[in-house]
Structure 1
Amino acid sequence: MINSKIRFVTALALAASATAVYSHGDVAPQEVDTEGLKELPKDEWLSENPYRGNKEAIEIGASAYNQNCARCHGLEAMSGGIAPDLRELTKFDDEYFVNKVRNGVQRNGMTYMPGFEDVMGQEAIWAIRSYIDKRHYEYKDKDLAELYEQAE
């Protein structure tokens, strides 16, 4: 009787863990439609967000974030502890952000985050950064009007 209970509990635990693994859906990086955004140089990556405060970029970035980042960094950029809370990034972290997203994060031979440069162009990555800027303003209770004033 005890063996059958142990087998049942073990089977239940395995089924639950398999569900958790597949609950994130397709983990392959998704392309981002950046139509409508100002085109950026193809041969030179910018070190500052050219779309900061741009409402269209923020909207595109929100969708791209949900498709590519939320499974690890959390819905609405609110980390559950697995990956850094991106709402903590300030405008001074642009170069850090773009380098991590382009190249990924590896430590001790393990990939913690894949590089996205081959899947997303500069426009898409900066659009995601624009969305994260907005989430930072909301998280810190800053006036969003100040963010939108920074748009070119």
Structure 2
Amino acid sequence: MKHPIRIAGGTLALAAAILTSLFAHAHGNVVPQAVDTTGLPVLGDKWRDENPYRTNKLALKIGTSAYTQNCARCHGLDAVSGGIAPDLRLLDRDCNGIKNETKKQACYKEMDNYYLTSIRHGKVRNGAVYMPPFEGVFNQEAMWAIKTYLESRRSVE
């Protein structure tokens, strides 16, 4: 006959507390990390309505690092969501199938606007913060560099 393993209530509570703290610590630092945009063309104070760095290789490099340090904890490594937050490879998926190139570019511009609004102002529903605002934390150059990275990860699904 097998006997169940008995753990005193205090020991079980202590084990649960240690396990919980390990998971919380593993989540990492949730303070946004600075993004060094040195070398990117300065965009100034007027916010752009579409990504000016779409083909800029330095922006891709900076955006990759910035995404990994600041966005991956919620949106997933390599922009592949683990379910906590939206999969950003699919951000502009509705544009991908558009055959008319003018309409397709207009769609991408609209998605750029949606992205910029989201990253600048965050996402709040029913008083709950789903994504914090990053305006004042990241400059415009950093935000567009991250978008450049996301475009490199774009899914055609």
Q: Which TM bucket (shorter chain)? A: 0.7 to 0.9
Cα distance, 1:9 vs. partner?
3.1
CA offsets 1:6-52 (integer angstroms, 9 cap, x no match): 4333322221111111212211111110011111021x211111101
Q: Which runs of 5+ in 1 are unaligned?
A: 142-152
Query: 1:47, 1:24 → 2: CA distance?
Result: 33
Partner in structure 1 of residue 114 of structure 2: 96
- Aligned pairs for 1:24-103 within 5 A: 24-42=27-45, 44-90=46-92, 91=108, 92-103=110-121
Equivalent AA in structure 1 for residue 90 of structure 2 = E
Query: Which stretches of structure 1, 4 residues or more, deviate above 4 A after TM superposition?
Result: none
Query: 1:29, 1:69 → 2: CA distance?
Result: 9
Query: 1:20, 1:140 → 2: CA distance?
Result: 34
**Identity rate, percent:** 49
3-state SS, counterpart of residue 29 of structure 2: coil
Equivalent AA in structure 2 for residue 140 of structure 1 = V
- Aligned pairs for 1:4-15 within 5 A: 4=8, 6-15=9-18
Cα distance, 1:3 vs. partner?
5.3
CA offsets 1:114-146 (integer angstroms, 9 cap, x no match): 11111111000000000000011xx339xxxxx
Query: 1:77, 1:3 → 2: CA distance?
Result: 42
Partner in structure 2 of residue 19 of structure 1: 22
Partner in structure 2 of residue 148 of structure 1: none
Cα distance, 1:95 vs. partner?
0.6
Partner in structure 2 of residue 105 of structure 1: 123
Query: 2:91, 2:69 → 1: CA distance?
Result: 20
TM-score (normalised: structure 2): 0.81
Equivalent AA in structure 1 for residue 143 of structure 2 = I
Equivalent AA in structure 1 for residue 156 of structure 2 = K
Say whether 1:127 aligns with 2:145: yes
Query: 2:28, 2:6 → 1: CA distance?
Result: 36
Equivalent AA in structure 1 for residue 117 of structure 2 = N
Greater Rg, structure 1 or structure 2? 2
Deviates more, 1:107-116 or 1:75-84: 107-116
